[in-house]
Amino acid sequence: MRGNEVGIDIQQVLTQIVGFLLLLWLLRKFAWGPLLGVLDERRTRIASELEEIRKGKESLAQMKTEYDTKLSEIENQARLRIQEAVVEGQRMAREIAEGAREEAHQILEKAKEDIQREMAKAKAQLRDEIATIAVSAAGKIVRQEMNKQKDKELVLQYIDELKGFK
């Protein structure tokens, strides 16, 4: 069978094959290359954006870790400062209480010294008055005549005067 008998025109088929091959060559040269370039460029851009997103997530995770660490440090420092303030307050309270006890002790000692001084002064006054009374009594005895009844009255009077000084 020949090509003509089947109704196929060989020249037309060859022309179509040559045209198709020419079209393939033109598409490959002018369309396929730029199309593949655009696709490669898009693939590269998407990959770089995905890499940036991954780096951003890593950076965000690192920043969160740093934030948590700093927050923990700040909380620890605040806790330490509060503890230090409590200790300082307790120390100051002890110092104030100790100062108050010391001051009370000093006041008590001064009061004791004042009392002893006043007692010594009172004793000295009492001694002076007793001496004065004794001299006065001796003078009265000398002026009066000496008899037993008068001596007894004089001694009783002297004792009564001494009782009055207590």
Per residue of the chain (166 residues), what is the pLDDT tens digit? 445 577 888 999 999 999 999 999 888 888 888 888 889 999 999 999 999 999 999 999 999 999 999 999 999 999 999 999 999 999 999 999 999 999 999 999 999 999 999 998 988 888 778 778 877 777 776 666 566 777 777 778 877 877 776 5
Residue 115 half-sphere exposure, CB side, CA atoms within 13 Å?
Answer: 6
The predicted pLDDT at position 46 comes to: 96
pTM over 0.75: no
Tally of residues, the chain: 166
| DSSP assigned state of 1 | -
Distance CA 59, CA 55 (A): 6
